[in-house]
Structures are given as C-alpha cells and as structure tokens.
Structure 1
Amino acid sequence: MWLIYLVNAFQGSITSNLAAYIASDFEDAPLVTVIGTVSSIMATAMTMPIARMLNVWDRGNGFLFLAAIATLGLILSAACNSLPVYCAAQVFYYVGFQGLIFCVDVITLDTSTLRDRGLAYAFTSSPYIISAFAGPKAAEGFNDYNWRWGYGCFAIILPFVCIPLYGTLLYNKKKAIASGALIQPVSDKKSVKAWLWDFIIEFDLVGVILLAGGMSLFLLPFIIAGSTEDQWAAPHIIAMLVVGFILLVAFALFERFVAPRPFIPYSVLRNRTILGACLLDLVYQIAYYCWDDYFSSYLQVVYNRSLADAGYIGNIFDVVSGVWLLGVGYCIRRTCRFRWLLYWSVPLYILGEGLLIYFRKEGTNIGYIIMCQIFMAIGGGTIIIVEQVAILSVPTHNDAASALAILEMFGTVGDAVGASVSGAIWTQLFPNYLQTLLPEESVGDWETIYDSLDVQLSYPVGNVTRTAISQAYGDTQTWMVTAGTIFMAFSLVCIFIIRDIKLDTKSQVKGLLF
C-alpha cells in the first residue's frame, strides 16, 4: 500500500508541475482546464459506486479493476495527439487513480483499529515526503525531453507495483476459502435481463447518473463563464446552472425516498459528526484550490524560479505535513480524542493563508511565502487526518467505505469549486491587468502572453514587459488568496459541529475482511 501511494505521489507531482506546459501544447489551453475539472467531477461521482463495488465484488477484484482503469488512463494520456483523445484519457486517469487510492484507504481502515487509524493514514501518506523532492526535478527533465513520458513511464511501473497487494489479497482469500472460514456464495443462473436489473439496483445506476450529471452541469459554468461572450448572462450558462441544481436535488430525493439500496443509510448522513467533517473538508479544499493551480506559474514568472524550484516550494506542504502527521497520529492514539487538534490547526491554517494576501505584493522576499506554506502544511495536514478519523468513528464497518466515499466526494467537489473560483478570477482579471499594465510595444500581444507560460517566461527579468506580467500575476493571485481566506473562515463553525468522540469506547469489527 505504501508503494502504491508512492507511485501516486510521484505521478501526481510530475503531472501537476507539467500541467501548464501540457496545456500549451494544445491550441485551446482553457479547454484543457475544463477537461481536467470535468474529469475530476466524474471521478468524484464514481467514488460512491466504487465503495459499493468493493463491498460486492470484494477488495481484491475491485482493486484489480481500478488498477487496470488507471493504467489505461496513463497509456492514453501518453499517446494522445488530439484534444478528444486527451479528454477521454483524463477521465480514465482521474477515475482510475482516485478510485485506486480510495481502495487503498478502505483496505487501510480494514486493517487498523479506530484508535490507530490516524497513525495508519499518516504512514500511507508519508511517500509524499519523497515525491516532493524528486517529483519537480523529474518533471523538469520530462519537460526538456518529452512530457508524454511523464505518463508513459508510470503506465509501465504501476502494474508491477499493484501486483504484490493484489496477490496478497487473492492468496489470503483462497486460504480462507480452503480453511472454511469464508464461504463462497452459490451463483444463480440468471437471464441477461435479470442480471442487468440486479446491476442497476446494486450499483444505484440512476443515482450515479443524476449525481455525475448534476455536478458536471452545476460546476462547469464557474470555469467557462469567463470565456463566454455574455459571461453569466449567457442563456446556456444559466441553463447549465439550473439543470445541474435540479439534478442534484433529484439525486438527494431519489436516494432518500426511491433508491432500493442507497449508497449510505439516511440515519448515518444525519449524524452531525459526519456532516461536520464533510463540510470542513469541503471548505478546506475550496480555500486551498482557490489559488494553488496557478501557484507554480506565479513562482516561475514573479520570482524567476525554475520548474523544479517552483515544484519544491509548492511541495512544502507534502514534506512538512508528511512528517508532522506521524506525530498527529500518535497524539490521537495516546489521547483517544481528535477534536482538540482542530482548535489550533484551523486558526493556524487561516493565519498562513491570510498572510499570503499581504505577501503577494511585488518585492516580497520569497522566504515569507515559504513561511506561510509551512504554517498551512502543519494546520492543513492536521485537518485532513482529523476529518478521516472523525468520519470513520461513527458508522458501522459495513458503511465505513461509503462514509469515506462521502468525505472523498465533498473534498473533490471542494477541489472543483476552488478550481472554478480560481479559473474565474484568472480569466476575468488577469487579461484586464495585462491590458492595463503592459507597455505600448507589447500590449498588442496580450492574448499570446495570456495563453502561454513559455511566452511569459521568454521576456528577461527586468524587462518592462516581464515586470508588467509579474505585477499582473501578483494582483490576480491576491484576489485568489483573498477568496480562499474568506472561504476558510467558515471552517471555524465546522469545528463545533463535530462531536468529540472517545475512540477507545467504540466497538471494532474483527475477523475476516475481503
């Protein structure tokens, strides 16, 4: 499981650092951002049925299926030569990797006690310490040679890394069957029609369609409205928002009153601890992704940092939180409580993000940016572990995977909303700042400058055009960080929604888990 997290951390670090250059390879760079957002939304909608699949098919078969989807996504991403193929590749890529890591998280909760779960999740997250250093430098090498190999090499590595865990799960399952500890269900011969009906009911296919369609239609306008002629007044933008909202409401009503087998019991959803943890994750992810997508480009343009150096600074969160979380997990194990950690971690995160508003101004020493990153890493890493422990402290073991899927869904929706907010700010403000600040000799090229990071970096430091671009970046990022800080302020309310549960008093399921 640790090796799978390591591969995920490496490929995530490399592809995120290459994102701006990949976008520049396609003629319609803003559409690449839309594709990434839609793919992430689709992956979120699939988390619920994946949780059901892991219960119905068992962990091993579900894990193998998701590994195959992730590998296919990597292969298609490496081989794509057109935007439609890239779009399909990203859907497989996001669904596969997000599902694969979710599966590993479920297996982690299967094999750990509630009291030790924070420490277990801290351990599986520790590979990000390694990828934070190696990933950006590798991304720089792939960019110099061919960015496609950033996907291609992991298409080769991933299957070999997944085989040991799948083999272990399969071996133990066969061992349990041979000993009589696990009884295989007798398969009934069914017609194709009966089999399809069982599939639709078991995996709540109607719910999946409503959720995926609703989330995509409701969140997409936040990305594309800025590049539309009439922007928010455009009829198709309004129609997408209205239809998306209706589909999401229909999903909630269908799950509550119609679905024969809803993803998770309604009584569990009403629990305040689950609600508080999900809302905290939603707010936290929105606040983070309000500015993070453009942070690497900001460091390269404003501070003239290389791709590798920008990656190192951006990955401070992974390094610091990776080490810090081991201590947080130990504290939870010793105290058997978790809410007290939120009393200081949430304010610390707000402080770090709030200070970034001031430090986004021109001429700020980069040391202050790094200081804020450290504050946010300590606070944010603690918040993530507490959310996971809190939401798993309530449901029964049969509902634990679904509860984790709900947390994943809220988090990814937060990612999408945050990315939508940052994309809207970028498309609305950055072009205006460029047209206002660029000197006369280059103001006519503002569209070319806006579309390409390579063009932005082609102007030497000290050049009047480069200075204007840097100022435009700083002014735009100030609004992004301000939006993130405002969203994060709502997390203070979430702290008191979560109950302070004593972990060593909760019953723990023991025995065979497949």
Structure 2
Amino acid sequence: MALWRRFFVSQRGEERPANSPMEYDEKQVGIEVEVAEEPVPEASGIAKIEAVEAVGGRKGRYFLYAGLAMIMMIYELDNSTVGTYRNFASSAFNQLGSLATLNTAASIISAISKPPIAKVSDVLGRGEAYIFTVTCYIVSYTLCASSKTFNMYAGGYVLYSVGQAGTSILNSIIVSDLSSMRSRGFFYNVMYIPFLITPWVSAFIIDSVVNGIGWRWGIGMFAILMPICACWIVITLLFYQRRARQSGLILTERLSVPEFCSRIDLGGVLLLSSGFALVLIPITLAADTPSLWSTPWVDALIAIGGVVLLCLYPYEKYFARHPVVPVRYFRTLSVVVSVALACVDNIGFGCNHTYLYVWSMVSHNFSARDAQFLNYTNSVMQAAAGIATGLLMYRMRTYKWIGVVGAVIRMVGYGVMVRFRTNDSSVAELFIVQLVQGMGSGIIETVLMVAAQIAVSHAELAQVTSLVMLGSYLGNGIGSAIAGAIYTSRLRPRLRLHMGPGADEYEVDKLYKSITGTLPAWGTPARTAVNQAYSDVMGYITIAALAFSAPIIILSIFMPNQKLGDGHNLVQKPPSPEPSSSSSPSPEPEPEPEKPPESGSEATLTPVMDEKRLQRKIEDWLDGHTGDEPDVQ
C-alpha cells in the first residue's frame, strides 16, 4: 500500500529534503517507496485515477480511452457549431454589436472556471467533476434554445462556457495523468484528432441548420447528444472508483462546507475571478459609450480590478491553505513564461477571429458553410501541427527552439494577413494565411503546455494545467475586447465614408447591428461600399493582432530548455544509485514469476504501476523499435 499512502500524505507538513519519498516519481522503474507518515483520509483525484487503473486493469483502461474518445468527439462537434450559432443568435436579437462583449464575458467565465474545477477534480474526483460540467452543458443548451431575449441567451451562453471550460480541463488532466513528459506533447494533441474532422462536418450541419430548422434547434439537440456521449467516461470512472473503495484502496473523507471551501480556495477564486472581471469587461463595455475610454466609471472599475488582483498574492501566500495560485509558481520561470505565452498568443487569436466569420460573409460573400471552413482552418491546422510537434519533441527530447520557430511562423502569418484582408484577396490566399497562423499556434501551444506541466509534481499537474488554460482564455477575452472596441468605434464611420455623404443613418445602424437580411445585393455599389467598410475595420483588427506577435518571440526565447525524460515530470526524481555506499538500500529481492493482474488486485499497486501498454506500444513505434521488450511489473 506504499503507493497509496503517498497520495494521502498531507501536503502542508514540513518541507521535505531532496530525494524524500514524496519527491519520487511513481513512473520511475525499480523504485520501492515506504512512507512513514500517517496517511490523511482523503480521496484525491490523483489517487482515484490511479485506483481506476489498478482495479480496472487493461479492460478498464480501454473503457477509459473509449470514453475519452466519445466525449472528445461530441466536445469538438459542439465547439465547432454552438460557437458559430451565436453569430446568428446575436443578429436575430439585433445585437451583433454586442457579440464581442458576449465573447469577452464567455472567455472570462471560461478562464476563471478552470482553476476551481481543477480543484474540485482533485478534491472530489474526476468523475464527479465531469457530472458537474455536463450538467452545466444541459442547462445552458436549454436556456439558449428557448431564449426569448438576448439577455436570456447571454445568460445561457455564460453557463455554457462553464461546462465547456470544465470539460476541456478534465480531458487534458486525464491525458496528462497517463503520459510521460517525453510523450505528453504527442498524446495531448492526439485527443484533438476529432477536431481534424468535425469542423468540415459541422460546416454542412450549420449550413443545413441555419437554412432549415434554425439555430435554436441546432443548439437544443446537444442537450441530448452531450449526456449520451459523456456517460461512458463518467460511468467508467465512477464504477471503478466504487470498486476501488470497496477494496479499501480509496479512503473517503466527509468534508464539511467550510473545509470544502478551503480545499478549493474559495477566497482565492473570488479574488481571481472578480479581479479579472472588473478589469476586462469594462474594456469592452466602454466601446458602447459615447465618450469611449474617457468614461470615468470605466477607469474606476479597471483600477478596482487591479487592486483586487494585487490582493490575490498576499492572500494566497499568507492565508490560503490550499491556494488556487501557489505563489511559488511566480518564481518558476517555466510556469510564468508558459502562462504569459498562452495569454499573448491568444490575444492575437481572439482579436483576429472575433469578426473573421462576419467579415468573410460580408466582404467575400461566403455562405455560412464556407465561412465556417475559413473560421476553423486555423484551429484544424493547429491540431495537426500540434501532433507533429509532439512527435518532434519525442524524438529530440527538447522543446525550446521548436517553440521559437513556431513563434516566428505565427508572426509571419499575421504579417501576411495584413496584406490579404482586402476585398481583392483570393479564396486561396485567405485559407493559406489561416494555415500559416495555425501552424505557428500549434507549435507554441504544445511547447508551452509541456513546459509548464513538467515543472511541477504530479499532484499539482491539474492546477498548473488550469493556470495555463486560464492564460489562454484570458488572452482570448482580451483579444475579443480589442476587436470589439475597434468594431464598435470604427465601423459606423467607415460605413458613412464609403456610402457617401447622403448615407441613411437608419441603414448604417442596421448594417452595424446585423448581417442577416440587411445586406445589399452582391455586386451593387451599395454592397461594394459595405464590403470596403468591413475590410477597413478588419485591417485595423489584423494590425492589432500583428502587434502582439512580437512579444511571443521574445517570451519563447526566455523559456528554459529542459530535457524531456521518460518520467512524469522534472520535480520527482529517483535518488542516484550508490552501490558502494554503506547507507545504500539493500538490493531488491528476486521478483516472483509474472502473473497477470486480476481486477481489484493489490499486486497492481506498485510504485511503477503498469506502464500503460497501449502507450508503450505507440512509443516503441515512435522510436522505431519492435516493441518486444518485457512489461515492467
């Protein structure tokens, strides 16, 4: 039971010396650990996922992989369709100008939801956290599909962002739980393989829905599809957790409400969420006021938000027992650079893509299907480039200079976009630009995620993953805010300029608020004027995105260049063998003949565990080996 006692030991005790048992990596071969401390009766998420592997054996892992594949398929299909429907929903309520505000609010909610959901998954378990996120999905689909006002739709969409953020972080955590740091970049991106297909399928679905049953039914159908696809992984996790509990492998603790709030660091979560909300939401809302940025309440809210964020550091350092943002992360260069890279890279992405869909439909007369193709070309290329980057990292055992190359490619993509955002650009040019941008992002996102995860212990993997994703979503929110500010402040003047002195203000207002049923016929002088106005605004937005690409190169250069080993991370290392030392441990006894592990057997609970045979076969294939090596027991 040594392995399980390690997971239940309190993390708030004395600082342990180097090479203490708590620092050993459970995936290091040949390490037998005995821990003297009394176990804390806590069923952590890490202990539960290890218990699922132990009692389920090979069959349980296959069920887990199948469940992960199912939920990733429906997650990516949802991600490729529901987000697009908001363009039509905003137009239906004559609130297209509020699209950037909605995107910003959703991005902020998504960002600040990840750390607490990661905490919940560590305190209650991965399966229990999935139940919460899927419930948020179902309620949000119902609200959005039945909304009578834009405010009701926006409320449902905000709740949808919680479900989406939670599902995303849980999928990433499980994949990272099961992979070594050398292969993590590859396996992390493999789970996005469905995204190589779903955008193209979803384009036909969206085109059929918006021209047929309507966007409401397009959203409502997921209230049935999501729980059906998610139930597989949830049932698998809960079933094997129950068997592990019956076998005595998981110790259950009844938490009081105050203790539960302390475990998830409710105070830190409130400071983090309210601080960023006070800073970012007013930036977008200010674009709708007559005096724009000179409005006093905007400056006041931003200042208050900054003060709240400054209070987060002392609170986490001196008061939080289980901090949502551990202060030592601020001294870990890999974590700081990774979070900053994720934020800055997604500022450019959010800025460039907020109105890309609308611009392609207006200025290039794309159908809903073709606009969908363009909008997701970047992300599809990002997934493909991420898989290739993971393979390259596996071969080279390093990542820094791969990330620098990705940053340069990303900057080139934005620079070319400034040239090709005109009405005269060909369809091929538009898609090539998105491919180049996606290649750069795929490299950067893979590198920064691995760099952050290997810098912390396995017990903190969920938390650091949530912080990197927090940076990504906050960057996306800032980018949407910038795009929204440019759109709301510049589109009306550009429409008046190109439509001429006699432009009807009512017509200008209609074109600003909605693109459904208000655009002039294609090829007419009026439509040409509208096209030029939208292209001008898109040019301003693209220049802003280009400005944020330079810091990406600088940050990637400052990233540490660690060697990717076969362990789980760089923090947990085995002690160096010293056979000649008198204090060295005695040799291990001769192992017993290999026996197939039975479901629920304690024989599977070695510090090394089973090395995930499926993963090892893939890694052998990547190395070009035949895979005939004996299994590690």
**Is 1:7 paired with 2:74?**
yes
Aligned residue pairs total: 505
**Is the counterpart of residue 21 in structure 1 residue 82 in structure 2?**
no
| Separation of aligned partners in 2, 1:299 and 1:87 | 24
- Cα distance in structure 1, aligned partners of 2:518 and 2:426: 21
Identify the residue that residue 234 of structure 2 maps to in structure 1: 166
1:27 CA drift (Å): 4.1
Who is 2:245 aligned against? 177
Preserved contact between residue 402 and residue 443 of structure 2 (Cα < 8 Å)? yes
Give yes or no for contact 2:180–2:566 (8 Å, CA) kept in 1: no
Greater CA drift, 129-138 or 435-444: 435-444
Superposed displacement of residue 55, structure 1: 0.7
Alpha-carbon distance in structure 1 between the residues aligned to 2:237 and 2:275: 36
Quick check: 1:39 aligned with 2:132?
no
Between the aligned partners of 1:187 and 1:217, the Cα distance in structure 2 is: 36
- What SS does structure 1 have at the residue aligned with 2:215? coil
Asked if structure 2 preserves the Cα contact closer than 8 Å seen for 1:264 and 1:399, the reply is: no
Q: Distance in 1 between matches of 2:230 and 2:319?
A: 38
Q: Tell me which of 344, 347, 353 is aligned to 2:408.
A: 347
C-alpha distance 255-64 of structure 1, shift in aligned 2 (>3 A): same
Pick from 509, 516, 537: which aligns with 1:454? 516
Q: Distance in 1 between matches of 2:128 and 2:370?
A: 40
Q: Is the Cα contact below 8 Å between 1:40 and 1:95 reproduced in 2? A: no
Tell me whether 1:337 sits opposite 2:404 in the alignment.
Answer: no
Partner of 2:551: 490
Q: CA deviation at 1:29?
A: 3.7
Q: Give the root-mean-square deviation of aligned CA atoms.
A: 1.9
Quote the Cα distance in structure 1 between the aligned partners of 2:475 and 2:253.
Answer: 43
Query: Is residue 386 of structure 2 the alignment partner of residue 325 of structure 1?
Result: yes
Q: Is the 8 A contact 2:97 2:512 kept in 1?
A: no
Report the CA distance between 1:315 and its aligned residue.
Answer: 1.6
Aligned mate of 1:146, from 207, 214, 227:
214
Structure 1 residues without counterparts, runs of 5 or longer:
189-194
Q: 2:126 aligns with which of 59, 74, 89?
A: 59
Residue 133 of structure 1 aligns with an amino acid whose one-letter code is W
Q: 1 CA distance for matches of 2:98 and 2:535? A: 24
The equivalent of 1:357 in structure 2 is 418
Q: CA deviation at 1:319?
A: 2.9
Structure 2: distance between partners of 1:299 and 1:280: 28
Q: Which amino acid aligns with 1:452?
A: S
After superposition, give the CA deviation of every residue in 1:100-127 in whole Å (9 maximum; x if it has no partner).
Answer: 1111111111111111111111111111
Instruction: Establish whether residue 399 from structure 1 lines up as the match of residue 445 from structure 2.
Output: no
Q: Within 2, Cα distance between the matches of 1:218 and 1:186?
A: 38
Deviation at 1:442, TM superposition (A): 4.2
Amino acid at match of 2:511: I
Correspondence for 2:480: 419
Could you tell me which residue of structure 2 aligns to residue 98 of structure 1? 165
The aligned residue for residue 326 of structure 2 is 265
Partner of 1:212: 273
Q: Using the alignment, how far apart are the partners of 1:500 and 1:253 within structure 2?
A: 31
Contact 1:76–1:86 (Cα < 8 Å) also in 2:
yes
Query: Which structure is larger by alpha-carbon Rg, 1 or 2?
Result: 2
Shift of 1:176: 2.4
Q: Read off the aligned partner of 2:510 and give its amino acid letter.
A: T
**Distance in 2 of aligned mates of 1:83 and 1:91:** 12
Q: CA deviation at 1:299?
A: 1.0
Match of 1:191 in 2: none
Matches within 5 A, 1:107-506: 107-144=174-211, 145-180=213-248, 182-187=249-254, 195-439=256-500, 442-444=503-505, 445-457=507-519, 459-504=520-565, 506=567
Q: Tell me whether 366-375 or 52-61 shows the greater mean CA deviation.
A: 366-375
SS of the equivalent of 1:148 reads helix
Which stretches in structure 2 are left out of the alignment for 5+ residues?
1-67, 573-607, 611-633
Q: Is the 8 A contact 1:346 1:383 kept in 2?
A: yes
Question: Secondary structure of 1:259's match?
Answer: coil
Q: TM-score, normalised by structure 1?
A: 0.94
SS at match of 1:290: helix
After TM superposition, give the deviation of residue 199 of structure 1 in Å.
Answer: 2.7
Alpha-carbon shift at residue 77 of structure 1 (Å) = 1.3
- Report the CA distance between 1:135 and its aligned residue: 1.1
Contact 1:17-1:136 within 8 A present in 2 as well? no
| Distance in 2 (alpha carbons) for counterparts of 1:168 and 1:47 | 23
- Give me the whole-angstrom Cα distance separating, in 2, the residues matched to 1:205 and 1:221: 24
Contact 1:48 1:402 in 2 (8 A): yes
Q: Percent identity?
A: 24
Cα 1:372–1:507 change in 2 (3 A) is closer
Residues 29, 379 of structure 1: CA spacing in aligned structure 2 closer, same or farther, 3 A cutoff? closer
Deviations 1:193-215 (A, max 9, x none): xx232133222212222221111
What is the CA–CA distance in structure 1 between the aligned matches of 2:149 and 2:97, rounded to whole Å?
15
* TM-score, scaled relative to structure 2: 0.77
Q: Which amino acid aligns with 1:114?
A: M
The secondary structure found in structure 2 opposite 1:224 is: helix
Name the SS for the 1:394 alignment partner: coil
Q: Distance in 1 between matches of 2:447 and 2:428?
A: 29
**Residue 79 of structure 1: how far off its partner (Å):** 1.6
Task: Provide the C-alpha distance between the structure 2 equivalents of 1:186 and 1:233, rounded to a whole number of angstroms.
Answer: 53
Amino acid at match of 2:218: G
CA contact (8 A) 1:37 1:419 kept: yes
Deviation string for 1:286-334 (max 9, x for gaps)? 0111121111111111111111011112221233333333222111112
Equivalents in 2 of 1:410, 1:362: separation in Å? 34
Comparing both structures, which one devotes a greater share of its residues to helix? 1
Shift of 1:393: 0.9
Per-residue CA distance 1:89-146 (angstroms, 9 max, x = gap): 1221000111111111111111111111111111111111111201122112221221
The letter of the residue matching 2:558 is I
C-alpha contact (below 8 Å) 1:15/1:139 kept by paired residues: no
